[in-house]
Amino acid sequence: MITNQLSSELSLTELPDRWRTELPALAPEENVLGALEVDLDSKLHFRKGLVLLTERRIMARAPGETVWQDWTYRRGMSLKLHDHAGVGHLELVDETQRLAAWRFTLGQNLLALRLSENFPRILEAHVFGKPLQQVEQNSCPTCKAPLETDQEECPVCTKVVHTPPSTWTLFRLWRFAKPYKWQLALGFAMMLLSTGAHLIPPYISMPLMDNVLIPYQNGKPVDTMLVVMYMSGLVGAAVLAWVFGWAKTYILALVSERIGADLRTTTYEHLLRMSLEYFGGKRTGDLMSRIGSESDRICVFLSLHLLDFASDCLMIIMTGVILFTIDPWLAITTLLPLPFIAWMIHLVRDRLRTGFEKIDRVWGEVTNVLADTIPGIRVVKAFAQETREAQRFRTANKHNLAVNDKLNKVWSLFSPTVSFLTELGILVIYVFAIWQISKSYITVGVLSAFVTYATRFYGRLDSMSRIVSVTQKSASAAKRIFDILDHVSSVPDPAQPVKVEKIKGDITLREVGFRYGNRAVNRGVNLEIKAGEMIGLVGHSGSGKSTLVNLICRFYDVAEGAILLDGVDIRNFAVSDYRRNIGLVLQEPFLFFGTIAENIAYGKPDATREEIMKAARAAHAHDFILRLPQGYDSMVGERGQGLSGGERQRISIARALLIDPRILILDEATASVDSETEKEIQKALDNLVAGRTTIAIAHRLSTLQRANRLVVMDRGKVVEEGPHEELMAKEGAYYRLYQAQARNVDTDMDDKAKSREDD
């Protein structure tokens, strides 16, 4: 019974099988509404526990224990969620005290967030006696979070608020079309003339049939001059339609291509101005898809489909006017299917609108697999995971297929129905026109022209109905692109930036605090770094060292406090001007596809060959570069393929030396190389740090003994600072780090010696 209740009611998470047989006894008609598996005990050891929400109480089995506890809902209760140093905390409190607390790794944070957001609603239902169904209406079927009436996806589940794309989003493209407004006006004029020329032949065919063909069939001689005049009119109309049609297609195609190019360029430039925080929550494949395929879809829409749509609209309007001038009653008969087609378009549009956005996101999943796998193909092959990655792609592709199939069910019914209505309209015209001919109200020529116009009218109407699909695809694409363009960088440029003059390099951190989402990383950091001084940042992994460096580089902005450069808050500088004074050497240097010289000169593209070679010599890279087949013109593969780790690192150092920065950041610059290569890199670093304000992070504490000061961090705070000898004498946090590392080094050396003896 419990298992059935669990499978039908539990919607917050898929509960692991091991808990299904260990659940406590529930009261009659008491259902489990939510669950969270916690995985840390009070000493932060990995053990499993479970927290359950039912309609009447909260129940829990603490990690490592066998006894279940429960707390009946009452007024004043709440579930508080927070994190500390990478550990999530969920607390049950009332108005006076904390009743219970559970800890978990942040991989469970989303599930905990769902639980805490649902708790007030469940508590309200129990305390005030409201039926839970009443509280849960218009809620997410997965996590029960409240949803808007027309909202199909839950922002808690997806972590992103998805608003359905509106067709009006396409009008926002006017900002890109505005520079070409005169070309657009000329193209529209050509379209108007082309449409008018296409409407001439049916009008000429009416007197041709009544004055030439029918009289000739009845035995009257043909008036040659009249036939020549009508034929000339038909040929002239065809030539004009061709000329104007070519002109409007060419002009509008050129404009649409330029709009698409401007859209791609603007989106990419805006993306480059985003902070690292933005990229941390995005997938590479998804961003590539937006700038590439989405902008291309918009370009095709503007150059082809929108042109056809505008032409169809003109044709329908002008044809309608002509039909009413020929015979108003017959024209009214022609328009009978219009209300039904308009109703169907309105009915289908919303489904297509949300459906195509889902397709775009699902297609992003496919490209994400490619973006993950292709750059990491060495790791895939090294661990023999080709089958696994193929299965990932197959799963994403299958999901894409399922979403497309669902949408095609709607579209496959809509399009034939519109065609059927238009064919039915032609039949009605024939029936009504034959009756009018029998009463001598109209001639056969009028019927012929009318049927020709009506056929074109319905043909264009059918074409317009088909553009609903394309329009919604383009609206979805435009929305995804404007999602990027509307995003404001969390590291903005000031309205009136302070000009960066020749800087000294004094850096001051005052009560600096920073959070990644809900997780506090740095708190109350105070630090003074003098110009030309080298400091070393040390501490356990996760202590906040790299985050502090990212804040100094202004990859992120501080949440609290301020960082000053020569007494000026760095947020008052233009971001690009400020960063030109910073050189960065990372643990894993990134090299671009291109020559060695181009990679060294990346920060200073106008550097001369002599300047590049000078920087390479200072970085101890000149000798190995000359041994390459083309020297400085040797091509570097993507991400530095073909070079060793030490060679890539020395090119990275040369790149930093070339821009001659006043501030230097070394983030684990020698962590990934052997001891011999480390010596070469260290010589290069000695040249690099001379006379510069340097902040170095290293796990090997021995590499930081050249630093003027060492700054020890723990749990996001500075706990010690001073020279190596002074910190060792204190026997505090740094001493413990150093001793722990020394023991590991000794163990490694003993293992190597033993291995040599065994050999």
pLDDT in tens, 373-424: 776 776 777 777 788 888 888 888 888 888 788 777 776 777 677 777 777 7
Q: Is residue 127's pLDDT more than 80?
A: no
The region of weakest confidence among 15-29, 263-277, 492-506 is: 15-29
Reported confidence tier of residue 292, pLDDT bands at 50, 70, 90: confident
Instruction: Report the alpha-carbon distance of residue 285 to residue 268 in Å, rounded.
Output: 14
Q: What is the mean pLDDT of the chain?
A: 76
pLDDT score, position 329: 81
Sign of CA dihedral 98, 102, 105, 107: negative
Instruction: Report the alpha-carbon distance of residue 686 to residue 723 in Å, rounded.
Output: 18
Reported confidence tier of residue 11, pLDDT bands at 50, 70, 90: very low
pLDDT score, position 465: 62
Cβ atoms of 379 and 324 within 8 Å: the answer is no
Tokens 């949803």 -> residue? 147
Reported confidence tier of residue 45, pLDDT bands at 50, 70, 90: confident
Q: Which tokens hold the place of 281? A: 């929550």
Q: Which tokens hold the place of 430? A: 């024939």
Reported confidence tier of residue 124, pLDDT bands at 50, 70, 90: confident
Q: Which tokens hold the place of 328? A: 């108003």
Q: Is residue 745's pLDDT more than 60?
A: no
Q: Is residue 285's pLDDT more than 60?
A: yes
pLDDT score, position 469: 67
Instruction: Report the alpha-carbon distance of residue 15 to residue 537 in Å, rounded.
Output: 43
Q: Is residue 695's pLDDT more than 80?
A: yes
The region of weakest confidence among 3-17, 81-95, 306-320, 539-553 is: 3-17
Q: Is residue 15's pLDDT more than 80?
A: no
CA dihedral 472, 474, 477, 479 (to 10 degrees): -70
Instruction: Report the alpha-carbon distance of residue 739 to residue 719 in Å, rounded.
Output: 17
The mean pLDDT of 170-174, rounded to a whole number, is: 79
Instruction: Report the alpha-carbon distance of residue 269 to residue 263 in Å, rounded.
Output: 10
Reported confidence tier of residue 152, pLDDT bands at 50, 70, 90: very low
Reported confidence tier of residue 2, pLDDT bands at 50, 70, 90: very low
The mean pLDDT of 463-471, rounded to a whole number, is: 68
The mean pLDDT of 290-305, rounded to a whole number, is: 75
Q: Of 12-26, 30-44, 210-224, where does the model show the most confidence?
A: 30-44
Residue of 680 and 443 predicted with greater confidence: 443
Dihedral class, residue 125 (left if φ above 0, else alpha if ψ from -120 to 50, else beta): alpha
Residue of 599 and 361 predicted with greater confidence: 599
The region of weakest confidence among 332-336, 468-472, 645-649 is: 468-472
Instruction: Report the alpha-carbon distance of residue 134 to residue 137 in Å, rounded.
Output: 6
Q: Is residue 5's pLDDT more than 50?
A: no
End-to-end, the C-alpha distance of the chain in Å comes to 63
Residue of 363 and 638 predicted with greater confidence: 363
The mean pLDDT of 622-651, rounded to a whole number, is: 79
Q: Which tokens hold the place of 678? A: 């480390």
Query: What's the farthest any 2 CA atoms get from each other in the chain?
Result: 125
pLDDT score, position 158: 44
Reported confidence tier of residue 630, pLDDT bands at 50, 70, 90: confident
The pLDDT tens digits for 361-382 are: 777 677 777 777 776 776 777 7
Instruction: Report the alpha-carbon distance of residue 340 to residue 424 in Å, rounded.
Output: 12
pLDDT score, position 313: 78
> For residue 250, how many other CB atoms are within 10 A of its CB?
12
Instruction: Report the alpha-carbon distance of residue 740 to residue 149 in Å, rounded.
Output: 58
Q: Is residue 139's pLDDT more than 50?
A: no
Long-range interactions of 117-121: CB distance < 8 A, separation 24+: 117/143, 117/145, 117/156, 118/12, 118/33, 118/34, 118/53, 118/143, 118/144, 118/145, 119/53, 119/58, 119/78, 119/79, 120/78
What residue spans define the domains of the chain? 17-132, 165-311+474-487
Q: Is residue 474's pLDDT more than 80?
A: no
The pLDDT tens digits for 656-686 are: 888 888 888 887 765 555 556 666 667 767 7
pLDDT score, position 634: 84
- 234 φ, ψ to 5°? -65, -45
pLDDT score, position 185: 87
Q: Is residue 288's pLDDT more than 60?
A: yes
Q: In terms of DSSP bridges, do strands 582-585 and 594-595 run parallel, antiparallel, or are they unpaired?
A: unpaired
pLDDT score, position 162: 44
Select from 589, 413, 571 the least CA-distant residue to 489. 571
The mean pLDDT of 711-735, rounded to a whole number, is: 84
Q: At what angle do helices 444-485 and 386-438 cross, to 10 degrees?
A: 150
The mean pLDDT of 355-364, rounded to a whole number, is: 70
Reported confidence tier of residue 640, pLDDT bands at 50, 70, 90: low
Measure Cα distances from 223 to 212, 227, 278, 446, 667 in Å: 7, 6, 77, 20, 94
pLDDT score, position 502: 79
Identify the three-state secondary structure at position 577.
helix
pLDDT score, position 468: 66
Q: Write the DSSP symbol of residue 563.
A: E
pLDDT score, position 379: 74
pLDDT score, position 84: 58
pLDDT score, position 232: 87
Reported confidence tier of residue 85, pLDDT bands at 50, 70, 90: low
- 86 φ, ψ to 5°? 85, 5
Select from 719, 670, 660, 724 the least CA-distant residue to 693. 660
Cβ atoms of 230 and 350 within 8 Å: the answer is no
pLDDT score, position 16: 60
pLDDT score, position 10: 42
- What is the percentage of the chain residues whose pLDDT exceeds 70? 79
The pLDDT tens digits for 483-531 are: 778 777 777 778 788 887 778 888 898 888 887 765 677 888 888 888 8
* Length reported for the chain: 759
pTM over cut 0.85 = no
Residue 137 half-sphere exposure, CB side, CA atoms within 13 Å?
Answer: 5
Q: Is residue 254's pLDDT more than 70?
A: yes
Q: Which tokens hold the place of 416? A: 């034939």
Q: Class of 17-132 per CATH?
A: mainly beta
Q: Is residue 754's pLDDT more than 70?
A: no
Residue of 241 and 757 predicted with greater confidence: 241
Q: Which CATH number is 165-311+474-487 given?
A: 1.20.1560.10
pLDDT score, position 17: 59
pLDDT score, position 135: 39
Q: Is residue 720's pLDDT more than 80?
A: yes
Reported confidence tier of residue 150, pLDDT bands at 50, 70, 90: very low
Measure Cα distances from 523 to 295, 546, 564 in Å: 42, 14, 17
